[in-house]
Amino acid sequence: MTLTDWTVVLPVALALGGTALCAVFWWRPVIQSAIGIVITLLMLVSAGVLVCTVATEGPQTMAMSGWPGPFGIVFAVDLLGAGLAFVTALVGLLILIYNFGDQSSDYRRVGYTPLLLAMLAGVSGAFLTGDIFNLYVWFEVLIIGSFGLLILGGKKAQLDGAIKYATLNLLATTFFLIATGLLYGLTGTLNMADLASKVAAVDNRALVNVVAALYLLAFGMKAAAFPLFFWLPASYHTPKPGVSAVFAGLLTKVGVYALYRVFTLIFPASDTIFADLLIWIAGATILAGGLGAIAQTDIRRLVAFTVVGGIGYMLVGLALQSPLALTGGLFYIFHSMLISTALFLAVGIAGRLGGSYDIAKLGGLYRARPAFAMMFLVVLFAVAGVPPFSGFWPKVVLVQASLAADAPWLAGVILVGGFLTLVAVARAFAAAFWDNGEEEPPRATHYGDRVGALMLPTLVIIGLSVLMGLAAEPVVQLAGQAAAGLSDPSAYIEAVLGGSE
């Protein structure tokens, strides 16, 4: 048990410890911010070590309290989980830096940093655990953190959005719990690696399908997949950008991760009746996101719909199940986690400069702030998947995979979805930056004193996106390695149950 072995639990333990420390200093927002930045840095380092270990030595596990799987709660990490935990820590760090730069007091409030860290603990825990009931508990931890963040500030629209968000997310986790209860009754185990073989041996296939359908419903709701996505554009735009950005970057991806985990390991989609259904859901989600984005006049709701569209591409990878498709889907998850965060941050800065989020009222930002306008344009291009940014390659891989799977219409949907997103963001850019508006008086276009901290997160993400786009080969290889671990989970199962045989 060296420190390297401990990196399996360190991201979660650090985030929980950070939450605790921030709560101890409850009335000291400045100390809390400092704690937050130190903790997320440590999380980033430990998750980075974890990624390196998993990439070279295969899946890592740690049995909590020394109770070995399948009896105790096991943390089991493959390349997918480790990579996602790494990006989670990165997003957390960048958000805290942005928060430091944004001096519009509202979310320098007491409570922001501890709630954010609690949410990061929940998200990392969900990515790292190997036990399905434990996954449920981490889901609840992250939604409690997100509820708190969502209503911070207490504006009318926030309370309204929070009610819809809270109701539907609670419903989703309750479905998750029902499915888990049924699954336990069927198999007598909750360890995901153990479930893989136990579920395959169950005779009552009808009940297995019911359980799988419940998981699809629960995680689909969390992931904002069609037709269960309406809560997302109803709530994500209501809080401050520093909160929206971390929601868009992390929360829906936890749902997608859970779908990937459950429908490759426990119910391989090819064994169930859900493979076709997933393809339809994926296609419909892409189109719903694209069409929804075009129809919006509030720039925050517009980008919320692009987040929905992004979920569709990830689901395409899962639905097709071929190693190539999974590679594309995983690459897209990593791309989308970073870019959605950057997008909401950039929108936040635009709203600060323009004094509104209505694209009709924003007009003329290009004249006032040309450098920022260029940065915004770059982020929008990255979202739409224009080369050389990172969104381009996963789409290419997914189109290739759809053609290989004999589903040319799906390839068409992917291309049309990309086109719709491009139209939506181009329209937003033209209206918000180029139009001169209606001869309005000059607006308050101050960044505040800490421009560096305000801009740094978005610039870092743009840099990473260009890097991932130009040097796509190693990323595709890593995603391919993670995808191989999903299509053939024997190494994962061996790592979890190997000791107890």
Partner 1 sequence: MNSLILRTVVPLLVSIMLVFSIFVLLRGHSLPGGGFIGGLIAASSLALYMIASGSQAVRKALVLHPMSIGGLGLLFAVFSGVPSYFSDVPYLTGLWYEPEFFHISLIATPVLFDLGVYLVVVGSITAIALALEEWH
Partner 2 sequence: MEPILAVVVGILFAITVFLFLSRSYVRIILGIFLLSNATHLLIFTMGGLTLEVPPLIPPGATVPTEAIANPLPQALILTAIVISFALFAFLLVLTYRAYQALHTVDVDEMRDAEPLVEEDGA
Rg of the chain over Cα atoms, rounded to whole angstroms, equals 22
Q: Do the beta carbons of residue 258 and residue 135 sit within 8 Å?
A: yes
Decide whether 22 or 97 has the Cβ nearer to partner 1: 22
- Closest approach, Cβ 136 to partner 2, in A, equals 8
CA 497 to chain CA centroid, Å, is 29
434 binds, among partner 2, partner 1, none (CB under 5 to 8 A by kind): none
- Measured from the CB of residue 394, what is the shortest distance to partner 2 in angstroms? 31
Four-residue CA torsion sign, 292, 294, 297, 302: positive
Distance from chain centroid for Cα 327: 17
When CB distances are held under 5 to 8 angstroms depending on the partner's kind, the choice from partner 2, partner 1, none that residue 1 binds is partner 1
Q: Binder to partner 2 among 66, 154, 441, 442 (CB under 8 A)?
A: 154
Question: Among 18, 125, 233, 309, which residue sits at the site for partner 2 (rule: CB under 8 A)?
Answer: 233
157 binds partner 2 (CB under 8 A): yes
Contact pick of 4, 25, 103, 440 for partner 1 (by CB under 8 A): 25
Site for partner 1, residues 311 to 370, rule: CB under 8 A: none
CA-to-CA dists, residue 237 to 113, 240, 251, 288, 358, angstroms: 20, 8, 14, 18, 12
Contact call for residue 120 and partner 1 (CB under 8 A): no
167 near partner 2 (CB under 8 A) = yes
Kindly state the smallest distance separating residue 175's Cβ from partner 2, in Å: 9
- The DSSP bridge partners found for residue 63 are 74
Q: Are 343 and 317 in contact (CB under 8 A)?
A: no
Decide if residue 26 touches partner 1 (CB under 8 A): yes
* Residue closer to partner 1 (CB basis): 135 or 479: 135
Torsion angle (degrees, nearest 10) of CA 274, 279, 285, 291: -150
State the number of binding residues for partner 2 (CB under 8 A). 34
Residues 235 and 220: their CA atoms lie apart, in Å, by 17
The dihedral over CA atoms of 161, 162, 167, 173, expressed in degrees to the nearest 10, equals 120
Q: Which does 250 bind (CB under 5 to 8 A by kind): partner 2, partner 1, none?
A: none
- Which residues within the stretch 30-89 sit at the binding site for partner 2 (CB under 8 A)? none
- Answer for the pair 59, 495: CB distance below 8 angstroms, yes or no: yes
Residue that is written with structure tokens 């139209």 in the block? 423
Query: Does 20 engage in binding with partner 2 (CB under 8 A)?
Result: no
CB of 113 to partner 1, least distance (A): 12
Question: How buried is residue 156: exposed, middle or buried, by Cβ count under 10 Å (0-12/13-18/19+)?
Answer: exposed
- Answer yes or no whether residue 166 interacts with partner 2 by CB under 8 A: yes
**Residues at the interface with partner 2 (CB under 8 A):** 133, 137, 140, 143-144, 147, 151, 154, 156-164, 166-167, 170-171, 174, 177-178, 180-182, 184-185, 233-235, 237-238
**Residues at the interface with partner 1 (CB under 8 A):** 1, 6, 9, 13, 16-17, 19-27, 62-66, 114
